[in-house]
């Protein structure tokens, strides 16, 4: 199955600085591209743990004896490593992008290019669908979702239109939603729709909450000198990662100890985020928005 072209593949694995006998985590297994390269570098005593909540990745899971797949959201990193007898690891990689495979599966409801039910759940056992968000959130909550997670400029107008239309009939399908969006589109159509659909997807899957929990867990389970590599695709995610690497919190608030020394949980390896090359973007246009940050636990 062609699941996903891994973004910044060589650069991210090089940054992970894989040791032959180390223990590593691919926190977003997906198509297994990053995992396969890590497995090439670790030896017989090394081990890799892969996390993914999406059932569609199961056919990609390696039967390699040095690999353990954990079918859960990466926010449960610490819990499930502990259940597998692992307290500390040498490196963790997370690629936060939605895969091409997921976007191209019409029935998953992630893309405005296909007609389907408004679902958008990464974990198909998840509690809430995109349709339920649109039909149950009040106007202010919808405005916050589109403004914060999609940076949609007319989020207030959009939220009001959704509430008005759902009073006439429930919003169930992508086409139902597109009919509401049509008159409200500002600027480039595809960009506007991508922002709106991104915002809904983030809300449905609690992606920001999961990312925060994951980062805090990653800090706890990394060995001193261990490496954390995160590839983000929109400014909100990237800002959280940048702040967390710099200060150990998501607000970017500098914390000092009793003696006035700044507490730094990580040594940052990427003062500026690493970006894909023009060559990679030509091959895989969806890599365009990727930003990779690398930090070493102190």
Q: Long-range CB contacts (< 8 A, 24+ apart) of 244-248?
A: 244/215, 244/219, 245/293, 245/295, 248/219
- pTM for the structure as a whole: 0.93
Residues of the chain with pLDDT under 70: 1-4, 99-104, 106-107, 109
> Where are the domains positioned within the chain?
9-100+209-297, 124-204
* Per-residue pLDDT reduced to its tens digit, 81-134: 999 999 999 999 999 988 666 666 766 767 888 899 999 998 877 789 999 999
Cα separation, 274 vs 66, whole angstroms: 30
Q: What is the predicted pLDDT for the residue at 99?
A: 66
* Per-residue pLDDT reduced to its tens digit, 57-86: 999 999 999 999 999 999 999 999 999 999
What CATH code would you report for 9-100+209-297?
A: 3.40.50.150
Are residues 161 and 142 in contact, defined by beta-carbon separation less than 8 angstroms?
no
Q: What is the predicted pLDDT for the residue at 110?
A: 76
Q: What is the predicted pLDDT for the residue at 3?
A: 52
Name the nearest CA neighbour of 119 among 209, 203, 63, 220. Answer: 203
| Distance in angstroms between the alpha carbons of the first and the last residue of the chain | 39
CATH architecture, domain defined by 124-204 = Orthogonal Bundle (1.10)
């Amino acid at each position: 199955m062609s699941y996903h072209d891994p973004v910044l593949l060589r650069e991210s694995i090089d940054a992970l600085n894989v040791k032959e006998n180390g223990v590593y985590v691919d926190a977003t297994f997906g198509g297994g591209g990053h995992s396969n390269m890590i497995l090439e570098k670790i030896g017989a005593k090394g081990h890799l743990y892969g996390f993914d909540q999406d059932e569609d990745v199961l056919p990609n899971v390696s039967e390699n004896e040095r690999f353990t797949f954990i079918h859960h959201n990466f926010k449960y990193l610490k819990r499930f490593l502990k259940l597998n007898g692992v307290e500390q690891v040498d490196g963790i990689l997370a690629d936060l992008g939605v895969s091409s495979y997921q976007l191209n599966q019409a029935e998953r409801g992630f893309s405005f290019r296909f007609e389907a039910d408004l679902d958008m759940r990464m974990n198909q056992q998840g509690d809430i669908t995109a349709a339920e968000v649109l039909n149950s959130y009040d106007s202010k909550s919808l405005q916050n979702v589109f403004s914060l997670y999609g940076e949609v400029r007319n989020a207030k107008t959009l939220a009001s239109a959704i509430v008005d239309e759902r009073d006439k009939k429930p919003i169930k399908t992508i086409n139902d939603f597109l009919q509401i969006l049509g008159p409200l589109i500002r600027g480039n159509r595809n960009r506007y729709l991508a922002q709106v659909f991104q915002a809904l997807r983030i809300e449905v899957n609690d992606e920001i909450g999961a990312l925060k929990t994951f980062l805090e867990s990653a800090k706890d389970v990394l060995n001193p000198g261990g490496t954390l590599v995160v590839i983000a695709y929109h400014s909100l995610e990237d800002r959280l990662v940048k702040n967390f690497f710099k200060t150990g919190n998501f607000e970017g608030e500098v914390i000092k100890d009793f003696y006035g020394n700044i507490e730094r949980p990580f040594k940052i390896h990427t003062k500026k985020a690493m970006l894909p090359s023009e060559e990679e973007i030509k091959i895989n246009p969806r890599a365009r928005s990727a930003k990779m940050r690398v930090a070493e636990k102190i």
